[in-house]
Structure 1
Amino acid sequence: MYENAVQNSVKPGKWINSTCKMCLHSCSIRVHVTDDGVVNKIEGNPTNPSNECGLCPKGNSALMRLYDPQRIKTPMKRTNPRKGPDDDPGWVPISWDEALDIVGKELKKTFDDDPRKLLPAINDFHKLYLWGWPAAFGGNNNYFSVVGTLCGGGYHPMNGFIHSTFAAGNDSDYCNYWINNGGCDGFSSHLHVAGAARHMARARARGMKLVSVDPRLSTSAAKSDEWIPIRPATDRHFALGLCYVMISENLYDAKFLKKDTNAVYLVGPDGFFVRNKDKKPYVWDSVENKAKTYDDKTIKDYALEGEYEVEGVKASPAFQIFKNHIKNCTPDEVSQITTIPAKDIQRIAREFAKAASIGSKIEIDGKELPLRPAGYNYYRGAQGHKSGTMSNHAYKLVNFLVGSIDAPGGHVGFTLDDVMIDRGHIWEGEGGQIKTTPHQLGPGVPFAYPPNTAHLMDYFPVGVHTGHLIAETFFDPKKWGMDFQPDTMLICHSNPLWNMNGPQDKYFAIMRSMRFIVAIDILLNESTVWADVVLPTLDNLERWNMTMIEPTVTEGPCLTQPIIKPLYDVKSEEEIFNEISERVGILDQWNEVQNFANMFFEKPELMLKPGVKYSDKDIAERKGKLWDNKDLEWFKQKGHAVTKRQPDKFYRPWEGQRIHFYLEDVLKEKKQLQEKMKKAKVPFYDIWQWDDYQGVPTDVLDPIHKEAAEFDMYAISFKDVQINFGESLSIPWISDIVRKDPVHMGILINTKTAEKRGIGNGDLMKVTSPYGTIMGLARLTEGVHHETIAVSNALTRWTGYHAVVKAGGGHFNKLLPANLENTCACSGQMEAAAKVKVEFFRKNPNDGQVVESEFSKYRYEK
């Protein structure tokens, strides 16, 4: 039976350069296609320094997405009016003309009635300009998703506030002491994993010390010199404890703070810098013992501490304000909050400061720079809490104290997309400081009352979209002053029912109430099965694109080009949105939005013209030319224009200006918002969480720690390299990896904790928060904090739309709150951990049918 078998790898064919799309980022790939037009191998492109020939399991399995037999093969229309997670839509295939006419007609009806009634959920990260389409739809600013807040809600705005970057990480080339807090950079998640793993391996091989602070023994923690288990949602306090030790023991870089930051600016009782009549901030000259403006050439030395009288008010340097704020963050006090022993907090602070080698120098490309080989790195697990603004700021301040912000070996900023090779990301701001750039995914939403958004983004002037707050506004519109009710939904490469936190029953009710839903995607998912019309798109191996997504130590765009002709009757996203826009009557507005979103206005000859429908290839070609004037043929041959990041854009790109130790701009935004809300007589002014706006972080506890006593444990979620937003679980290779791993197919609980509760390995247990309940098989391990249960996002899917995806015992997001009290009023960051009670439910059933039966009761809200 095997005599005619031919191994795919030896079939003749050709290699074509392209870009992976199996996660947010953009690793370059080489794809082998046989002479008979079959894709049979994908591997990393060795010429791209971003991923250095590497590719993660998701990337290697992308061909299974292309050939998934359950891909949507043609436009489909729903015939069953009943909508629910188990209701068969009764799909019937229809032509593109009919599908687009239906969608155009229904969206035109919404547009003519009130554009605010559209709820968009657009989440294609490789084509971020698609996110701007609602702006063409009458300036719609709604967002029915929490993709942004669930990963980097507080993270991205704060990077923009502090050193005008979108993301950040440690400089693996020179770092000698790396702290990973609540993230797995360099191992299994976050930025450009395939390349980052190699950077990390080299750093570890040359002796860099790695400390992981995490409630779970993650891949990073398992491969670290030291794992520090921490109580969830106390990471900010750990960071402030480190700051306390470094300040109290004078283990900080005073020269950096004085020269390169606003830590020396004098702050008055109102929290704002004290200024002269020309609006110039004051500092205190500690030699002449008098106030001077920050740019006074006669300053002998800057005071970092003390209290002084200036312009008739008492004022202190911002550094002193921070020191006052953390006076209670002693190692002993922080230990009580975090459960980390006080001696370890003190030891790590000292080790970190020593490793930073304050005062050392290095020469790079003929330029002498400060060498600070110590970096505090973090991501969602550490920053994904109600205090998102303050938490992100606290982690940055650890790096500030040793002068490692944007220094070789330290904590450096990564941009989202530099757009052009000679375009920087630093602009001159006010008072000698760099310009803050919290809005890098698009402009902020203007203030309005009544609100113009369904998720209250009118009141988050510096935040990322708080899609989960629609769970409050939709069901009590009078309380929030709503004068419209959404009735139409557009879903594009998104799964809001999966990614939204909080009450599934409310989200189901919202979906049922929609007059019309259109979904644009490759495969059906928990959300798109509710659609009235589904429009199928090209797979990544069938389409054109040009992208650069948060590269770490590199810069430059990567080309996606068709490897084969489309397998089915599908279209590009560009063609779909063009056709919809034309039918609604907003094609010109859509072209203008694309000019802005892609920054084509930087080179007017690339701008899209009115009345013309541009293809995915047209947009890709323009983005390539925008970078360095290379045409599409050049990119087709090379695959990318990625190089190591230019040192002057990477190390201290703000040289000569000051970065923001103290966030006065945050307080300015607060004051302006307060004034606008008071003037408009906004009725919920008094319940707004104003204390989330701070110039420096405080040690206030997040609300999660104040839940009722019966909820005596914490729940966190996690992901590893083979899982993206959960969609990769539809791929048999990935599903096979995950389902054979007890780490992913059960709920992790500390062995001693489980024994005290009478729970054995493999027993069914129930986990309940104040907001929801999930079920899971207990997986006993020493690799999780004793107060914590940990749930892989592999358990968050439910069945009914794809044969490969298996149901877990309930979606972790059901355990989370979706309310204002647990949302950072400044950044919009939602709380991503929960307080729970854990109960034994059934002895190890050893019966798959019993497990499946119990899981089915909790896989989603009934």
Structure 2
Amino acid sequence: MKLRRRDFLKATAAVSTVAMVGCGVPKNNALAPMDPKKAIGEDPGKWISTTCQGCTTWDPIQVFVQDGRAVKVRGNPNSKANCGTCCPRAHMGLQQLYDPDRVKVPMKRTNPEKGRGIDPKFVPITWDEALNTIADKMMELRNNGEAHKYMLNRGRYTYMRDMIYDAMTKIYGSPNNISHSALCAEAEKSGAFYTHGYWDYRDYDLTRTKYLLIWGLDPLVSNRQVPFSIKVFGDVLDKATVTVVDPKLNASAAKAHNWLPVLPGTDGALAVAIAHVLLTEDLWHKPFVGDFKNSVNQFKTGVTLDESVFEEKYTNGIIKWWNIELKDKTPEWAEQECGISAEVIYKTAREMAAAAPSICIWMGPGAAMQVRGTYTAMAIESLCGLLGNLDNIGGTMMKGKTHVNKMPKLDDYKDEVAKIKHKYKIDQRGYLQFPALNSGKSGGGVVTNNLADGILQKNPMEIKMGIGYMNNFAFSGTGAQRWEEAMSGLEFYVHITTNASEMTQFADIVLPSAITTFEKWGYLKSKGNLHSQVSLLQPVVEPLFDVRTDETEIPFLIAEKLAERGFDKLLRYYKEQIIDPETGKGASNAKEFAEIAVKYYTAPSWDGKKDFPGDKIKGWEAFKDAGVWNDARLEYKKSWGKFKTVTKKFEFYSETLKKALKGHADKHNVSIDKVLDVCNYEARGEMAFVPHYEAPFRYGSFEEYPFTFIDHKSRLNKEGRSANTPWYQEFKKVDLGDESWDDVLKINPDDAAGLGIKNGDMVRITSTNGSFTIKAKFWEGLRPGTVTKCYGQGHWAYGRVAALDYKNAKPRGFNNNELMPCDYDRISGSTARNGGFCGVKIEKV
């Protein structure tokens, strides 16, 4: 970011003011005065390796620590995935670490009434009292035969999640460990899995690509691999064609060669029309797909073909796909559906073919996280099959191999209560209306946002107690009002958090968490630049406050309290199974456990016992210093012929999805068509098994709600936890069209003129789910008929900077998730928050 001196001075002043308000300046605050006899930077310091968790890039970074303070951040030069770079999120971590609004000690609620704007009347308590209260409640449920009425909610995590999410929940005896995953992803994984058997995020060979197609995301701002994308994007623009498909002009589109402002939710129409051109013009990648047996192209618009005329190589069902979906899906047809001219569609398809197979197709949540998102994701992913770019030079890549230990088995530590089989979890995954087909298994995924309804309905069970960490579902789930209702009625909730977020306002016990990156132990697995990696989080400074690590220390402390009450299985598991690979000993206390657990898991990356491709790190201390282990560069074409699909091929006709849907249908004794009907898909019969276009499902008629609302992401949202930092608010204007210290609704000037709205006017925006007043901001980079707002503002809790009036629960702007209704892409379980599903009306106040 290039900042003017005036902006920097304003931010500095804002930082100083907020840091001094109320709580004063913490002892080790990076902003506090140093020794007046020495200049800043004069004292010796040290760069310490750790990992930024600002987004799912999980960026290896280093923090410069001077006189016990974290004062500067940079990318870790040892990482081959980010090449020593980081994005603005990593730098904002410094203000999060030294935020005076952090929760500093355990607290308990003294006001039994719960709800927005109701003062919980928290009072400080000791860790001992907090842990005793939690253990008493857990044992009460267990002794009453109600262990299954306990739940664990996980937000963002490190891979130490196993200790609290799996081990603690399952040994205790509850099926209800619920992750956040479906709030931010899953549908884009679903598209890849049902075409080529890969349930994960993709990597991209950006340094060798000849064509980059960015679809429904902005890799310079969000998604995965942000720092590396920023680093190489200029080079990509110089040597490759860049095309962005998005209804709004994002940062990538502003620099791209082509911007295709598709009508929200119609991405699938554009994808299948491109596929139609590739086939009718003989442009598919024959070394991957195959060819007609007589080598004469027979794909003609409207013509049905016999399957026997084509000989496929690494793909399955191209003729079925053509007959069922593609033969009539011309660019002229698509123009009427998606708003992109037929001429541009032809041009795009031909340019892509000319660059193939060195083409990256980077699909993100904007295209997939919609009510019928799995089929849109499949349609876009199918272009990878046609162009042969999967695991190919300059193409869309899978991932390499990381070497870590698995969680030790739990079986020997489960008693009769823990061994009870429960058919369903509280999020209702696996219900008829919620297939959640993670990796093809009915109920194998998660339906995070439906947890609120499960609690309210007490279906399939009543929930009497919950523990949540690094989560704020009352803010991050669409139809957020449901969460407030569910949490208000919950009998007992424990929130482990750095700041008093919206979720915290409903808690009975609040436990202060060590902040990720700076104060906690953990490790992460990620990928980028064709390298997979294991990266370390380690404490770089001593904690400022009386905090504990959420995933290791706190469950260990709870296990000790449970053991005091006669239930020692969890504590024995931690002590007997999580062993220090250097000493062969288990932990004697929680603090030891936090480090030993990380050593146990990451040992294969640094102990030298096995030889595998990648870095050669000699010992734990060397790993702490390096901060990251890199796999060797991913080899090309390794997946060809070995896709994890039913046919082992890239499936244009998805036998994998057919098997998964049949398994779910058989489970409920219904037909596949019935499943599709209940789950609100248009497909029936054979159409259900091929990538195809489904019209966007929309809340609100165009007559009453003529505009379509688009939610988009900020380059400053540090996993939603940065809004209480002055830097976030001051530099909010780096999100295109946004303003500092404000929340704005961006509208095309032509649309505004039709409504008599001037730039800066206050307007009321109304959906079927809510109505809010906000300032209108003219933004030309937006398709007419749509309005957009960046996600991240609208906190009514969290702190004195995030909220406009924290004491009175008054937000700065409004939360997009209170405007958008709750719905899902039910095949994957993903929350719908894109794809034109939210109609709105705009009125001048």
Q: Same fold (TM over 0.5)?
A: yes
2:568 is equivalent to residue 567 of structure 1: no
1:431-830 equivalent positions in 2, closer than 5 A: 451-458=424-431, 459-460=434-435, 462-463=437-438, 464-476=445-457, 482-504=459-481, 506-540=482-516, 541-573=518-550, 574-584=552-562, 588=569, 615-629=593-607, 630-643=618-631, 645-647=633-635, 652=640, 654=642, 658-678=649-669, 687-689=678-680, 694-704=688-698, 707=701, 709-738=703-732, 742-743=737-738, 745-799=743-797, 801-806=799-804, 807-818=811-822, 822-830=823-831
For residues 95-142 of structure 1, the C-alpha deviation after alignment (integer angstroms, 9 at most, x for no partner) is 111110101111232344423323432113323434435642555444
Mean alpha-carbon deviation: is it higher for 81-90 or for 115-124?
115-124
Percent of counterpart pairs with the same letter?
24
User: CA separation in 2, counterparts of 1:229 and 1:591?
Assistant: 58
Say which SS state the counterpart of residue 830 (structure 2) adopts: coil
Separation in 2 of the partners of 1:771 and 1:636?
49
Q: What secondary structure sits across from 1:405 in the alignment? A: coil
Q: Which residue of 1 aligns with 2:359?
A: 374
- Map of 1:389 onto structure 2: 374
Q: Does residue 150 of structure 2 align to residue 151 of structure 1?
A: no
Contact 1:773/1:810, CA 8 A, preserved across alignment? no
Question: For 1:175 and 1:355, how far apart are their aligned partners in 2?
Answer: 8
Look up the equivalent residue of 1:318 and give its one-letter code. Answer: G
Partner secondary structure for residue 183 of structure 1: coil
Cross-structure match for 2:402:
418
Shift of 1:564: 1.9
Tell me, yes or no, if the aligned pair for 1:142 and 1:455 is still in contact at 8 Å: no
1:16/1:563 contact within 8 Å kept: yes
Offset of residue 468 of structure 1: 2.1
The secondary structure found in structure 2 opposite 1:730 is coil
Aligned-partner residue type, residue 651 of structure 2: H
Question: What SS does structure 2 have at the residue aligned with 1:716?
Answer: strand
**Letter of the aligned partner of 1:617 in structure 2?**
E
CA 1:20/1:785 → structure 2, altered by over 3 Å: closer, same or farther?
same
568-577 vs 454-463, which moves further: 454-463
Q: Secondary structure at the match of 1:191?
A: coil
1:312 paired residue number: none
C-alpha deviation, 1:705, in angstroms: 7.4
8 Å contact from structure 1 (residues 117, 484) kept in 2: yes
For the 8 Å contact 1:621–1:631, the answer to whether it is kept is no
Aligned counterpart, 1:406: 391
Matched-pair contact (CA < 8 Å) for 2:402–2:631: no
**For the Cα contact (< 8 Å) 1:318–1:662, is it kept in 2?**
yes
Aligned-residue offset at 1:667: 1.3
Give the 3-state SS of the residue equivalent to 1:785 in structure 2: coil
| Offset of residue 689 of structure 1 | 4.5
One-letter code aligned to 1:814: E
SS at match of 2:663: helix
* Mapped contact 1:526–1:801 kept (Cα < 8 A): no
Letter in 2 for 1:637: D
Provide Cα deviations, 1:302-347, integer angstroms capped at 9, x if missing partner. xx951469xxxxxx97111211212332112211111111111111
Aligned residues of 1:420 and 1:628 also touching (Cα < 8 A): no
Unaligned runs of at least 5 residues, structure 1? 265-284, 288-303, 310-315, 357-371, 424-445, 843-862
CA contact (8 A) 2:241 2:257 kept: yes
TM-superposition CA deviations, 1:715-764 (whole Å, max 9, x none):
11111322133211112212211168652531111110111111111111
1:837 aligns to what?
A: 840
> Does the 8 A contact of 2:184 with 2:831 survive in 1?
no
CA gap 1:757/1:702 in 2 versus in 1, 3 angstroms: same
Q: Distance in 1 between matches of 2:188 and 2:279?
A: 25
8 Å contact from structure 2 (residues 267, 338) kept in 1: yes
Q: Is the 8 A contact 1:18 1:559 kept in 2?
A: yes
Alpha carbons of 1:483 and 1:222: their partners in 2 closer, same or farther (altered >3 Å)?
closer
Q: Secondary structure at the match of 2:711?
A: strand
Structure 2 counterpart of 1:30, from 62, 82, 100: 62
Uncovered stretches (5+) of structure 2, i.e. residues with no partner: 1-32, 296-303, 310-314, 407-418, 439-444, 608-617, 805-810
Q: Quick one: distance in 1 between partners of 2:117 and 2:277?
A: 56
Encode CA deviations 1:448-479: one digit per residue, 9 max, x unaligned: 997443433455252431122245444455xx
Q: Quick one: which amino acid aligns to residue 406 of structure 1?
A: D
Q: Secondary structure at the match of 1:729?
A: coil
Kept in 2: contact 1:182–1:381 (CA 8 A): yes
Which residue identity is paired with 1:738?
K
Q: In 2, distance between residues paired with 1:593 and 1:3?
A: 44
Change (3 A) 1:646 1:468: closer
Q: Which residue in 1 is equivalent to 2:94?
A: 63
Q: Is the 8 A contact 1:796 1:808 kept in 2?
A: yes
> Aligned to 1:703, what secondary structure does the other structure show?
coil
| Distance in 1 between residues matched to 2:523 and 2:156, nearest whole Å | 13
Offset at residue 653 of structure 1 (A): 8.9
Between the aligned partners of 1:529 and 1:610, the Cα distance in structure 2 is 34
Aligned with 1:9: secondary structure? coil
2:236 corresponds to which letter in structure 1?
A: A
Structure 2 vs 1, CA of residues 286 and 102 (structure 1 numbering), >3 Å: closer, same or farther?
farther
Deviation at 1:212, TM superposition (A): 0.6
Deviation at 1:800, TM superposition (A): 6.6
Letter in 2 for 1:830: T
Asked if 1:256 corresponds to 2:237, the answer is no
Q: Which residue of 2 aligns with 1:201?
A: 234
- CA distance 1:547–1:378, shift in 2 (3 Å): same
TM-aligned CA distance change 1:29 to 1:659, over 3 Å: same
- Which of 50, 62, 70 is 1:18 aligned to? 50
CA 1:461/1:703 → structure 2, altered by over 3 Å: closer, same or farther?
A: closer
Give the Cα–Cα distance (whole angstroms) in 2 for the partners of residues 487 and 244 of structure 1. 54
Deviations 1:38-87 (A, max 9, x none): 22222222232222222211211212222111211111111122212212
State the 1:168 CA deviation: 1.1
How far does residue 643 in structure 1 lie from its aligned partner after superposition? 5.0
Q: CA deviation at 1:553?
A: 2.1
- 1:88 maps to what in 2? 119
The offset of 1:15, in angstroms, is 2.3
- What secondary structure does 2:629 align onto? coil
Kindly state the Cα deviation for residue 249 of structure 1 after the two structures are TM-superposed. 1.5
Q: Match of 1:527, as an amino acid?
A: M
For residues 685 and 330 of structure 1, what CA distance do their matches in structure 2 show? Answer: 26
Between stretches 373-382 and 732-741, larger displacement belongs to 732-741
CA 1:558/1:317 → structure 2, altered by over 3 Å: closer, same or farther?
Answer: closer
Q: CA deviation at 1:213?
A: 0.8
The aligned amino acid for 1:510 is A
Contact 1:153–1:388 (Cα < 8 Å) also in 2:
no
**Rounded Cα–Cα distance in structure 2 between residues aligned with 1:739 and 1:802:** 20
Separation in 2 of the partners of 1:208 and 1:485? 55
**C-alpha displacement of 1:769:** 1.6
Aligned residues: 741
Of 72, 77, 80, which residue of structure 1 is paired with 2:103? Answer: 72
Q: Tell me how large the CA RMSD over aligned residues is.
A: 3.7
**What is the alpha-carbon distance in structure 1 between the residues aligned to residue 71 and residue 583 of structure 2?**
36
Describe the shift of the 1:354–1:379 C-alpha distance in structure 2 as closer, same or farther (beyond 3 A): same
Structure 2 residue 155 is matched with structure 1 residue 171: no
Post-superposition offset of 1:387: 1.5
Q: Which amino acid aligns with 2:738?
A: V
Are the counterparts in 2 of residues 405 and 411 from structure 1 also a CA contact under 8 Å?
yes
Flag the 1:780–1:803 CA change in 2: closer, same or farther, 3 A. closer
